[in-house]
């Protein structure tokens, strides 16, 4: 059996000027994930990752914890997340930077639920394809990019290999949707529930790829690791 492990990056710096940087907790998540692979005797054969800083940092933290010496990852922008800040800014120019967005939410007394509503509306605007000039990458282009990324890793996955991919929640959500024929309207529900350093396993067989497990957070199920379960 061959498996592709899609790993969402560790907790990033939500609300900071630079989101694309692991928090201290995010670094710990990567280390614990690597230790969890050791405990399950999972020996990765190949590594793939997006080119974002948080992808590379999660790869490094996880691999540093693995017992066996690991090869370098193959980094590719195909595994990068969509530009969520641009999606938000196109919906409301006040959200052009994270700090300004948080300030607006604080002034209006908005909580997490309101952010989810706003993000949903911003996503729907992007996914509608009615405003093509407002985005560097369309929703359809994003889905095609992710499909291409998955095809390349599937093609590089040999029989019996366990190959790891370090990427983002939106990318993983699109893979799940494509393999399970889930409509675009369900994207946010899936995306918001992909935990940091969770593992979604894709089984590669002679008849194609199929979803094996989704959003596995068993690395953090021990009481001493419960605080490591995050979604940002």
Q: What is the pLDDT of residues 85-96, one digit of tens each?
A: 999 999 998 888
Domain layout of the chain by residue ranges: 2-81+139-228, 83-136
What global pTM score does this model have? 0.94
CA distance 148 to 144: 6
CATH placement of domain 2-81+139-228: 3.40.50.1240
Q: What is the mean pLDDT of residues 33-50?
A: 96
Q: What is the pLDDT of residues 141-173, one digit of tens each?
A: 999 999 999 999 999 999 999 999 999 999 999
Q: Does 64 score more than 80 pLDDT?
A: yes
Which of 230, 219, 222 lies closest to 25, judged by CA?
230
CA distance 215 to 228: 14
CA distance 198 to 231: 9
Beta strands 199-205 and 208-216 are antiparallel
Q: What is the mean pLDDT of residues 103-129?
A: 86
């Amino acid at each position: 059996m061959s498996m592709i492990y899609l790993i969402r990056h560790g907790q990033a710096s939500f609300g900071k000027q630079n989101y694309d940087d692991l928090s201290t907790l995010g670094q710990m998540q990567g280390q614990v994930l690597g230790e969890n692979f050791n405990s399950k005797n999972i020996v990765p054969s190949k590594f793939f990752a997006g080119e974002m800083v948080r992808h590379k940092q999660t790869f490094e933290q996880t691999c540093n914890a693995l017992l066996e010496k690991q090869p370098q990852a193959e980094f590719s922008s195909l595994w990068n997340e969509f530009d969520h800040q641009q999606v938000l800014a196109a919906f409301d120019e006040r959200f052009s930077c994270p700090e300004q967005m948080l300030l607006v939410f604080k002034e209006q007394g908005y909580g997490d639920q309101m952010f989810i509503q706003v993000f949903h509306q911003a996503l729907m605007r992007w996914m509608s394809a009615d405003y093509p000039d407002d985005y560097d990458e369309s929703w359809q282009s994003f889905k095609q990019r992710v499909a291409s990324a998955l095809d390349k890793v599937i093609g590089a996955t040999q029989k019996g290999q366990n190959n790891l991919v370090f990427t983002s929640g939106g990318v993983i959500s699109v893979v799940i949707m494509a393999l399970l024929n889930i409509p675009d309207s369900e994207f946010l529900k899936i995306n918001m529930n992909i935990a940091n350093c969770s593992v979604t396993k894709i089984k590669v067989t002679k008849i194609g790829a199929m979803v094996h497990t989704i959003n596995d957070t068993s690395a953090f199920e021990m009481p001493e690791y419960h605080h490591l379960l995050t979604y940002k």
